[in-house]
A and B are shown apart, each in its own frame.
Chain A
Amino acid sequence: MSNDDETAKADGGTASQSETVEDERFEEHPLEWDEPENNDKAPDERDSVSHRTEKYDDRKLVTGQAKYTADYEERYPDLAYAAVVRSEIPHGRVTDIDTSAAEAIDGVEAVLTPESDAVPDAKYTSAGQSYPEPSPWDMHVLNEHVRYIGDPIAAVAAEDRATATAAVEAIEVSYEEADYVTDPEAAFDEDAPQLFEDGEVENEIVGHDYDRNRMAHIGGELGDVDGALDGNTHVHETEWETIRQSHANVEKHTSLAYTDEDDRHVLITSTQVPNHTRRQLAHLFDIPIRDIRVTKPRVGGGFGGKQAMVVEPIPLALSLATDRPVLYEASREEEFYAMRSRHPMKVKAKTAVTDDGDIEAIDIYALSNTGAYGSHGMTVAGNVGSKPMPLYSKVPNARFEADIVHTNTPQTGAMRGYGAPQGTLALEGHLDEVARDLGLDPIEFRRRHHMEVGDLDEIAGMMGGEGANRRIRSCGLDECIEHGKDAIGYDDLEQPDEDHLHRGIGMALSAQGTGVAGDELGAAQIMMNEDGSFHLQVGGVDIGTGADTAFLQIAAEVLGCDEDDIIVKSSDTDVTPFDYGAYASSTTYISGMAVKKAAEDAKARILDWGAKLLDEPVEKLETGDGTVYSESSGDSVTLEDIGYEAAYGDDEREHILGKGTHCTEESPPPFAAQFADVTVDETTGEFEVHKLVVAVDCGVAINPGMAEGQIEGANHMSYEMAVSDGITLDDEGRAEVADFDEYGLPSATETPPIESILVETHEPTGPFGAKSVAEVPTNTVPPALSNAVRDAVGVRIREMPITAEKIRAKLDEREI
């Protein structure tokens, strides 16, 4: 991602020059990948990978025996409970905090304000990203300058939850109120109230203009977009709007901190990014990284909401102040108004199309409302362009720009899809509209332009420099479209008998990435026990996705052992190797490849011992069925025999260990084709979604059952973006939802059946051909449903959510 305000990176060459450029790039990004032979296994050769292996932690999950952060409560008899005082005004200065009444309450252990010694003054960002951090340092743990209703001001620790809550209520905060602004367009005005004054931000992002509440401006261009727009007869422009969505992770943000007997600071915490959290805490509290241990037990969902150090500093500061372990569990109400949400955006799409129906240019602009702080603001906005636009990498001219603007509204952050849902709505809704306007079939129109194997995706490079260009080595888009069409019944759609009911089908395509190209690291190690079993220690973070199971399947596939013979330990910074964390759809691809390398490293040692015990050359040996066997002699020795011999042998001994670390410049896109089948009542605008179908190319699915679960869950989240209000705010930016009843998460009866289809391709850069799956199906329901409504009754809803009232209003407008 470029931080550069000077955005144009035009190719500017003539046709023949660009051919030469193309050839050179082909060399830099070759189609043929130097893939190890063992990475490409035919389906019938796979022993573990692509099997529906039982999820590793399922038995303890369904019996309620699994431990999440709050369940560690019982281990610490002297545990204190935290609660937080939050701003009740949208913008202003705290002039006084009267803590005396709270301090007088029996059982209150500590009350912290911005002045307290245990509270760091350092600025930071909560975004849990790589280093140097691509988000501005614009936050404090506790704030004197408050910028939204929900900003933390003071924190208490008390003997029990009720006392902590009572203490929070007893604290009196006085404010000097300031003007505020909640609308991103108004925030851009020259005389709008300003959220950040000089000196209030460090690590600013290039393109910032805090006088106008802009935290960043980004963009890039390929070819000559304005030229193409000028020269073409069919120029279309549309504008789209998305909701402020809550992660709604059912386990709330929860974190427990204590200092152990070695004076090291331990956090048991519900996080997606243990290693980043450790580094961020070290920065904030000025503690050496080595003296902090971050462990993640079971995590009850993250979806990006925990790709941030949202709560951890509070219990750590309180535990330093009280010398006791402290647990902070956000309330559900805090989840909605004081944790994180998806950036609401307005996105404009513009295209130039020739008379022949060829797209000559795509131009996208996003205005992102980052709320009071800038965590993930620039990178999420970048993905509005860099994820969906490569779908049409054949289009010669492309441009993307975004402004990321502060308002006095709740904080935003990373959320599954990470900008791609907003961009996909605009692009896929727009292209559908263009096709219909030109009298072209919307699916065929996309087929003419969509990405294929062999294409060079220069959109990534347009944003981040040519090195970020990607060669496409696997692409199942056509198959996704075909299977999706069949499953939804595209070619034999029956209209209802009633005249006022109209049925339609909408389709949308999507692409994502698989990890952040050139900015990931995963690592793993494998230790063999003398009984032939293995400990797999991996930094990769399972937040409920099933990553531990995928790791285990990859390791078992290499080691040729029984899956039950692998014990997985993930995400404890004292024990497991380094990892960037669970985000950007990277876990299976990056951490999984590290596991594969670790297993191969261990396997090499195992084969060596096998050779010794079988007295045969290593080249003739293979692992499988829990043994090392010789393909020529048929002799074999069990892994258990090898384990004992290696540990207790007479002349030579060795602890069989394997290690692997993985990083790459590659980030192959997974693809999806979404279909929605809807009937609309043209008299009322009411609609019923009969079915959602989503076909996904995630390369080789390491575990098809888990992949389907990921797809369907992502599609449910995507459906919510299409039909729910999200977190609505009042005029002061106060969240109007406090619980699940008020937040419009579609329930079991409100969610249509979702059919997921796995289209297998082979991605040579991924472990056993895998690429990512978790995010791509999050992007597609809003455009597919908008397109379906358009198909059914001819009106277009561009502002999410799609409601009966909006459809009705459009129908009324049309009739006039």
Chain B
Amino acid sequence: MPKTGGNAVDIELTINGERTIVEAGSGDDLATVLRQHGYIDVKCGCDGGTCGASKVFVDGDVRMACEMEATDADGSEIQTVAALGTQADLHPVQQAFVDNFAVQCGFCIPGMVIQAVALLDSNPDPTEREVREALDDNVCRCTGYQKPVEAVLDAAQRMQGEQSVAADGGHPVSAPTHGDESTSCCGGDCDE
């Protein structure tokens, strides 16, 4: 369960292109703070760090927001899945998830989509194995992984030739700087 701590301090975040000052208690995790400020597209499916639903970009790196202290994100640029596309104008990865019937209940999908976008940013033409490795810490109970994997491979095809992933409102999603982190965001150095 997300934690909420005392001793609130103000931190500055740029969330989906908007600079905001938010209040964060010491020990508050980033997922809780984002959700408290209306970013309900950040989903929490576990008690922290084991479902992948809460993945967001923090300064271009995929992070499980529940596993990061909000105060550690002070000054960062954050993108949630809502930044990637709108319902009327989906990001190619989102569109591929829709077209491939890779979505059932949708609860895991924000984390899946973020992870898939990160993968395709660093590896625009992944093999099926590489896609599976990228999604390895994203739990989807509804579809298993067949259709999500197909969706990511399809998205790669669709995005071939595109230079960058344009986010909603023109804020580019920067490519993850560490290739490894795109496949396993919490490979032990989440709280560095």
**Chain A residues within 8 Å of B, Cβ to Cβ:** 52, 54-55, 57-68, 70-71, 73-74, 160-162, 165, 247-252, 298-301, 303, 329, 331-333, 543-546, 705-706, 708-710, 712-713, 715-717, 719, 738-741, 745, 747-749, 751, 753-754, 756
Contacts of A68 in B (CB 8 A): 43, 107
Contact B87 A299 (CB under 8 A): no
The CA of A248 and the CA of B133, in the complex, are separated in Å by 21
Contact B45 A62 (CB under 8 A): no
The CA of A37 and the CA of B35, in the complex, are separated in Å by 52
Q: A59-B87, A748-B149, A749-B133 are in contact. Are A250 and B139 (CB under 8 A)?
A: yes
Contact B98 A63 (CB under 8 A): no
Contact of A67 among B40, B47, B131 (CB under 8 A): B40
Contact A741 B50 (CB under 8 A): yes
Contact A740 B138 (CB under 8 A): no
Contacts of B46 in A (CB 8 A): 332, 739-740
Contact B145 A716 (CB under 8 A): yes
The CA of A57 and the CA of B109, in the complex, are separated in Å by 13
The CA of A563 and the CA of B86, in the complex, are separated in Å by 21
Nearest chain-B residue to A52 (Cβ)? B101
The CA of A116 and the CA of B81, in the complex, are separated in Å by 44
The CA of A74 and the CA of B36, in the complex, are separated in Å by 7
Given A740-B50, A740-B139, A754-B146, 13 extra CB contacts under 8 A: A63-B84, A162-B4, A250-B140, A298-B106, A299-B105, A300-B105, A300-B107, A333-B47, A719-B144, A741-B50, A748-B131, A748-B149, A749-B132
Quote the shortest CB–CB distance from B7 to chain A (angstroms). 12
Contact of A332 among B50, B113, B135 (CB under 8 A): B50
The CA of A251 and the CA of B3, in the complex, are separated in Å by 17
Nearest chain-A residue to B44 (Cβ)? A70
Contact B141 A248 (CB under 8 A): yes
Contact B90 A747 (CB under 8 A): no
Q: A62-B98, A301-B107, A709-B101 are in contact. Are A747 and B137 (CB under 8 A)?
A: yes
Q: A63-B82, A301-B141 are in contact. Are A250 and B102 (CB under 8 A)?
A: no
Contacts of A716 in B (CB 8 A): 143-146
Nearest chain-A residue to B113 (Cβ)? A62
Contact A251 B101 (CB under 8 A): no
Contacts of A748 in B (CB 8 A): 131-133, 135-136, 138, 145, 148-149
The CA of A74 and the CA of B140, in the complex, are separated in Å by 26
Nearest chain-B residue to A159 (Cβ)? B4
Question: Does B94 interact with chain A (Cβ within 8 Å)?
Answer: yes
Question: Does B80 interact with chain A (Cβ within 8 Å)?
Answer: yes
Contacts of A74 in B (CB 8 A): 36, 38, 40
Contact B98 A59 (CB under 8 A): yes
Q: Which 8 A-B pairs have the closest CB atoms?
A: A64-B41, A544-B105, A716-B144, A61-B106, A300-B107, A705-B101, A740-B50, A59-B87
Which residues of chain B in 72-90 are interfacial with respect to chain A, using CB atoms and an 8 Å cutoff?
A: 80-82, 84-88, 90
The CA of A83 and the CA of B145, in the complex, are separated in Å by 33
Contact A65 B82 (CB under 8 A): yes
Nearest chain-B residue to A165 (Cβ)? B1
Quote the shortest CB–CB distance from A541 to chain B (angstroms). 12
**Chain B residues within 8 Å of A, Cβ to Cβ:** 1-6, 35-36, 38, 40-51, 53, 80-82, 84-88, 90, 94, 97-110, 113, 129, 131-133, 135-149
**28 A–B pairs (Cβ distance < 8 Å), ordered by A:** A55-B98, A58-B106, A62-B98, A62-B103, A63-B81, A63-B94, A64-B41, A65-B82, A162-B5, A250-B45, A250-B141, A252-B45, A298-B105, A298-B107, A300-B45, A303-B141, A329-B1, A332-B45, A332-B51, A710-B104, A713-B143, A740-B50, A747-B139, A747-B145, A748-B135, A749-B132, A751-B132, A751-B145
The CA of A329 and the CA of B47, in the complex, are separated in Å by 11
The CA of A749 and the CA of B90, in the complex, are separated in Å by 27
Contact B103 A712 (CB under 8 A): no
Contacts of B87 in A (CB 8 A): 59-60, 63, 65
Contact A713 B104 (CB under 8 A): yes
The CA of A285 and the CA of B165, in the complex, are separated in Å by 54
Nearest chain-A residue to B38 (Cβ)? A74
Contact of B139 among A715, A745, A753, A756 (CB under 8 A): A745
The CA of A740 and the CA of B45, in the complex, are separated in Å by 10
The CA of A425 and the CA of B38, in the complex, are separated in Å by 47
Nearest chain-B residue to A246 (Cβ)? B141
Contact B138 A301 (CB under 8 A): no
Contact A162 B3 (CB under 8 A): yes
Contact B144 A754 (CB under 8 A): yes
Nearest chain-A residue to B101 (Cβ)? A705
Contacts of A708 in B (CB 8 A): 101, 147
Contacts of B90 in A (CB 8 A): 59, 62-63
The CA of A713 and the CA of B46, in the complex, are separated in Å by 20
Contact A713 B4 (CB under 8 A): no
Nearest chain-A residue to B84 (Cβ)? A63
The CA of A59 and the CA of B98, in the complex, are separated in Å by 7
The CA of A756 and the CA of B80, in the complex, are separated in Å by 33
The CA of A738 and the CA of B113, in the complex, are separated in Å by 26
Contacts of B135 in A (CB 8 A): 747-748
Quote the shortest CB–CB distance from B134 to chain A (angstroms). 8
Contacts of A329 in B (CB 8 A): 1
The CA of A546 and the CA of B104, in the complex, are separated in Å by 7
The CA of A713 and the CA of B108, in the complex, are separated in Å by 14
The CA of A453 and the CA of B41, in the complex, are separated in Å by 48
Contacts of A545 in B (CB 8 A): 104
Contact B81 A64 (CB under 8 A): yes
Contact of B144 among A60, A64, A751 (CB under 8 A): A751
Contacts of A165 in B (CB 8 A): 1
Nearest chain-B residue to A300 (Cβ)? B107
Contact A62 B97 (CB under 8 A): yes
Contacts of A738 in B (CB 8 A): 47
Contact A249 B141 (CB under 8 A): yes
Q: A250-B107, A303-B141, A712-B144 are in contact. Are A739 and B3 (CB under 8 A)?
A: no
Contact of A62 among B36, B81, B142 (CB under 8 A): B81
Contacts of B141 in A (CB 8 A): 247-250, 301, 303, 713, 717, 745
Contact B105 A58 (CB under 8 A): no
Contacts of B144 in A (CB 8 A): 712-713, 715-717, 719, 751, 754
Contact B106 A62 (CB under 8 A): yes
Contacts of A162 in B (CB 8 A): 3-6
Contacts of B110 in A (CB 8 A): 64
Contacts of A59 in B (CB 8 A): 87-88, 90, 98
Contact of A301 among B1, B98, B104 (CB under 8 A): B104
Quote the shortest CB–CB distance from A717 to chain B (angstroms). 8
Contacts of B82 in A (CB 8 A): 63-65
Contacts of B137 in A (CB 8 A): 747
Of B100, B104, B139, B142, most A-chain CB atoms within 10 Å: B142
Contacts of A300 in B (CB 8 A): 43, 45, 105-107
Quote the shortest CB–CB distance from B141 to chain A (angstroms). 5
Quote the shortest CB–CB distance from A327 to chain B (angstroms). 11
The CA of A805 and the CA of B90, in the complex, are separated in Å by 47
The CA of A58 and the CA of B102, in the complex, are separated in Å by 10
Contacts of B113 in A (CB 8 A): 62
Contact of A65 among B41, B44, B131, B138 (CB under 8 A): B41
Contacts of A161 in B (CB 8 A): 1-4
Contact B109 A61 (CB under 8 A): yes
Contact A543 B81 (CB under 8 A): no
Contact of B147 among A70, A252, A709 (CB under 8 A): A709
The CA of A421 and the CA of B47, in the complex, are separated in Å by 30
Contact A712 B147 (CB under 8 A): yes
The CA of A717 and the CA of B143, in the complex, are separated in Å by 9
The CA of A66 and the CA of B98, in the complex, are separated in Å by 14
Contacts of A299 in B (CB 8 A): 105
Contact of B104 among A331, A544, A749 (CB under 8 A): A544
Contact A251 B105 (CB under 8 A): yes
Contact of A64 among B51, B80, B99, B147 (CB under 8 A): B80
Contact of B41 among A63, A544, A712 (CB under 8 A): A63
Nearest chain-A residue to B105 (Cβ)? A544
Of B85, B98, B140, B145, most A-chain CB atoms within 10 Å: B145
